[in-house]
C-alpha cells in the first residue's frame, strides 16, 4: 500500500454528544483502521 503519498487525513466531527469519549470515536471508526490521534474539544471557541 506504499505509494509514496502521505495518506494522513484530518476529519472534523461536529455535534457530538457531551458524553462522547475518545474510545467511542475510535470504536466507531475502527472499521477503517487504527486512528493515530483523537482530540475532543470540550469548550469550542465562541462559547462562553
Distance separating alpha carbons of residues 15 and 38, to the nearest angstrom: 16
Q: What is the pLDDT of residue 8?
A: 82
pTM above 0.75, yes or no: no
Question: How much of the chain is in helix, strand and coil states, percent to nearest 5?
Answer: 25, 0, 75
Q: What is the pLDDT of residue 43?
A: 73
Q: Could you read off the pLDDT of 1-48 as tens digits, one per residue?
A: 556 666 788 899 998 998 999 999 999 999 999 999 999 988 766 665
- Supply 14's cell numbers: 461536529
Amino acid at each position: 500500500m506504499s505509494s509514496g503519498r502521505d495518506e494522513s487525513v484530518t476529519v472534523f466531527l461536529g455535534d457530538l454528544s457531551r458524553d462522547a469519549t475518545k474510545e467511542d470515536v475510535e470504536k466507531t471508526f475502527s472499521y477503517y483502521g487504527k486512528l493515530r490521534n483523537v482530540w475532543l474539544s470540550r469548550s469550542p471557541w465562541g462559547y462562553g
